[in-house]
Structure formats: C-alpha cells, structure tokens
Structure 1
Amino acid sequence: MANLANKTAFVTGGSRGIGAGIAKRLAAEGASVAVTYTKGADAALSVVYEIERSGGRAMAIQADATDAKAVTTAVDKTVATYGRLDVFVNNAGTAIPKPFLETTLEELDRVIDLNFRGALIATQAALRHLRDGGRIILIGSCVGERMMTPGLVAYAATKGAIKMFAQGLSREVGGRGITVNNIQPGPIDTDLNPAAGDWATPQTVLTALNRYGHVEDIAAMVAFVAGPEAAYITGASLTVDGGTNA
C-alpha cells in the first residue's frame, strides 16, 4: 500500500545510515523525498538514484544542518519543486564518544549545535510550510530516555532535550492535526556505529535481544508514524532499541 502517495517528505542527514534508510522507505510508501547532506554528494546521489530506479521521486540538497539559512533554503526548494510538504524527519545528528571530562568545548558545541539547535532550526523551517495533518518526526535516542552508556554524556543530554521538544511542540501544533513524535533508536548497525566495531560490545550486552538493530527497523517505525494509521499518536517517544531500556 502506498500510504504516502502524493505526499512530500523532507529528511535531514539522508545520505547514509538511518537517514538513507528512512528516505528509501518513505519513497517506497509513495512519497516524493528530499534529503539533505553536508558532505558526500556521491552518497546522497546514490540514495536518489536508488529511489528513482524503483520508480520514486527524490532529490538531494546540500545543506549543513547547523546553517539556518541553508536549511531554510533547502526546505523552500523542496516545496517549490514538489508543491507541498507533508512529512518532516529530523535525522541529522552526531556523537563524539569520550569521557565527559575529556570532551573539548569545541566538541560540546558541535554535538549541541547539530543534535539540538539544528533540530530546532530545521523543524521551524519545515513548520512554515507543513500542511495541516502533517507529520514532524524527530530521531532521538534510547539514551535520551535512560542513560547506561559511558562516554555519551553530552549526546544523551541533547537527545533528552529532543524528547521534551517533541512533547512541547505537539501541544502547539495539535490544533492543525500535525503530530510530533520522537523515535528513539538503540544500537543500529551503520557506518558510524558498526555492529562489528569495538564500541559495539558493551552496547550489544545491554540489549535484551543480544544484537544490533538494522536501519530498516527504524525506517519502518518512521513510515508507520508518517502514515494515516498513526494520526492519534503525538508527543510520544517511541523506542526501537532491542530491549536496551527494558
């Protein structure tokens, strides 16, 4: 079923990993998709090519998620190209794993600027165009709900802020039928956090399923929340973590 036929979706950080998986899944559901990327045009174009090869519509736009002007321009370009905006997914983010005491001010600024300030910037830009009944979907983290992983103090703090941002914003836009939800992944096998990496061992042990998840696990939840059957879910934090927080 094409639950998102004739809809347009905008995904930040959609050139690889979870973002790329989300973009492909939303396109498979019938949406025209725009993805942003900061670096790696080839990867972003590869996502576009795969979507188009499957019969979908997609475009890639270079826009640093911490640059308000660039993000606003990217949203405007998406609406100008496809004529509407129905689903906004804030996926862009980063982690710099290291003990908090050893984290530099520059590293703290980077994590906060991208994970939290960037989410506010992009959501505000999207909300100016989002249609009534639209969807705002934020990609948080299971550590924003329950923190058990040393070395992710600043990251967890930003994801906890995303949780509260989703709750607060849902109250402001609910009158327009717009839902705002926070998807909280656990350990997911990507280039940035590979299941075969050294850092994966302590994360795997914490899961109830004793394994990493896949990009498709998160994309499936995003597609559900973006679809018509999730119209009464808002202000929620939906955790997809293999039981890490169980």
Structure 2
Amino acid sequence: MTLPRLVATDLDGTLVRSDGTVSDFTRDVLVELEHRGVPVVFVTGRPLRWAEEVFEYVGAHGLAVVSNGALVWDVARSAAHLERPIDPALGLKMCRLLRAAVPGTSYAVETLEGISLEPAFLERHPVPGAARRAPIEELFTRPALKLLARHEELEPQEFWDLAEETVLGRLVITWSSASSLLEISGPDVTKASTLALLCEDLGVEAADVIAFGDMPNDLPMLGWAGTAYAMADAHPTVTEAAHHVAPGHDDDGVARVLAGVFDL
C-alpha cells in the first residue's frame, strides 16, 4: 500500500474534542507525521479568529484552509496565502432573493477582520465586543470570506434545501452546525476546490490525500480525496459518502487511524 502524502482534516467534530481541546496523543501523532515529511492540513469551516486557537498543532509547513475554502492562511507568516471571497454585488443579490423566499432569514459576514452581524442574527458563540451590528446592505460593502444565514424556526436540512432552490448554484451553500446556520461561499469555493489548489502547489495528487470529516461541509473534500474517513458520530450523509469510518472525535479517531496507516 502506498502511504498518503498529505493529511487533510476537519477540526470540530473531527480532530478537536467536544471540550475544544486536542489530546496529547493526537498532538504527538501530528508532530510525528510532520517529522516524516507528511503535512497535516487543517481544513475547517471556522473563521480565522477561531482557527487560530489550534494553529499551534498545524506543523512547521504552516498552512491551513479556513472558512470552508475561502482562505488559505500561512500560519508561519501570519498572512493570507490565498483568498477566494464573495463579491458584494453577487452576495447582496443572493441575500435579497433568499430573504424574499424564506422570510425570517438574518445575515452575518466574516472577513479577515472578524464578524459583522445584522441586529436579528442570534450568534451562538461569543461575539467580539467590536463586532458591528447593522443591516446587511451596510455590512456587505466589500468582499467577504463567508456569508452566514440563520433561521430560528426552520430545521437545518429544510433551510438548506430552500436556500439551494433559491440560489441555484450561484454561490456555494453548506452547513456544519446543529442549529439552522448556513455557511455561504463564493462560486465553486469549497473545502475540496481550495485543497486541490493547495495540493497542486505542493505537487500532491488527490489519490495521495487522506481526509477526515463529519458534517455536510466536508462532503466535497471527502469526495475528492483518495482516501476518505467519516467520524463514527458523523452526519449520515458523510458516513454514506466516505470510504471508511474512524472512531469518534472524543476517542482520538483521526490520530488512531493515522497511527495505524503510518505504523506509528
């Protein structure tokens, strides 16, 4: 068996435990892979402000795919390596269409500087004190890495289906939350498409990538990678799409699989 040349892993629900930590065992496995010349790329829906919390584990190569593929961040230089944002004109057009089709939709936008939210957008995580609150037309005036759409009454799958029917592929819509929060990216921007660009730069083929994920926003990446693992507690669509199932994220599933694959 040819060993993978690159590891691509989601964070929440995959590499990171429920309490937000990365175990010593997982850290040791990632460090050993780095020593062996196998880069571990974090591929996350987290915005940069949250992804930074685990950058100490990313390894000396120092690259992470953030915001579902909208940003490749050079950890070592603390600078953007690649940005794939949403054009404001297109984004605002989609906001108007979605709100007309699904009344009660509220919005927020993520940029390198942080999050800005509509007054009705009820964020489940702590919001930075400097975060701006205003109508989306006042917030979305320049390219954004991610557009967030929230609904307080619909179920996640129902909200996603209605949004897909409205947007018709003009933007990429996915979700990874237990609440009805849609994560919207620019045209053709997914974890997979950005990871493919990064791997092309590194000279790594899709067949040589082993990937791990647990939620619908991981589906493109798992479909692209040569070897795909769903976590034991993954969303059913992810389990169905993956080649294999890893132990759960609270059981160090990613590290346990990697230790076996690389005979650590």
TM (normalized to structure 1)? 0.39
More strand by share: 2
TM (normalized to structure 2)? 0.37
Determine which structure has more spread, i.e. the larger CA radius of gyration: 2
